[in-house]
């Protein structure tokens, strides 16, 4: 089982700091709780840490996808590519996942293949 960040892309249209995070999960069988994707913030209680917003389940090539069902449990049988918005991301810190912490790559421009994913502000 392996998890990695494919890319993080600043979301310029968001009213507060936000990135689109693209993740690849490989060789995994079971359910993942998408709310367990987070980033530690020392001065804030864990219950108030950021969590993914508007999660997308992508095709293996990342060219299309659909919004993930709610609640945030996702069944995976093999490999899965995901994308989600994450507010106040600090790329210099580890990103916590249900499969363990991962390092994030440098932020870069959003690939045109992800243009179908539109930012919608949380209510």
- What does the DSSP assignment read for the chain? -EEEEEEEEE-TTSSS-EEEEEEEEEEEEEEEEGGG-B---TTS-GGGS---EEEEEEPTTSS-EEEPPSSSEEEEEEEEEEEEEEET--TTS-BB-TT--BPPPPP-PPPGGGTT-------
Range of the structural domain that residue 65 is part of:
2-114
Has residue 121 been placed in a domain?
no
Has residue 107 been placed in a domain?
yes
pLDDT at 73: 82
Token duo for residue 82: 């995901």
Q: Is the distance from CB of 105 to CB of 20 less than 8 angstroms?
A: no
Is the preceding peptide bond at 108 cis, omega within 30 degrees of 0? no
Q: Could you read off the pLDDT of 47-88 as tens digits, one per residue?
A: 899 999 999 999 999 999 999 866 668 889 999 999 999 999
CB atoms within 10 A of CB 5: 16
Q: Could you read off the pLDDT of 20-56 as tens digits, one per residue?
A: 999 999 999 999 998 899 999 988 999 899 999 999 9
Has residue 119 been placed in a domain?
no
Has residue 123 been placed in a domain?
no
Has residue 120 been placed in a domain?
no
Number of domain units in the chain: 1
């Amino acid at each position: 089982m392996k998890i990695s960040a494919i890319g993080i892309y600043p979301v310029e249209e968001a009213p507060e700091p936000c990135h689109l995070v693209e993740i690849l999960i490989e060789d995994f069988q079971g359910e993942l709780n998408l709310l367990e994707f987070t980033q530690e913030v020392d001065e804030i209680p864990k219950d108030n840490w950021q969590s993914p917003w508007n999660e997308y389940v992508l095709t293996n090539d990342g060219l299309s996808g659909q919004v993930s069902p709610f609640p945030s449990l996702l069944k995976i049988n093999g490999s899965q590519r995901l994308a989600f918005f994450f507010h106040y991301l600090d790329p210099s810190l580890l990103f916590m996942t249900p499969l363990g912490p991962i390092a994030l790559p440098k932020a870069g421009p959003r690939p045109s293949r992800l243009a179908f994913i539109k930012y919608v502000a949380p209510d």
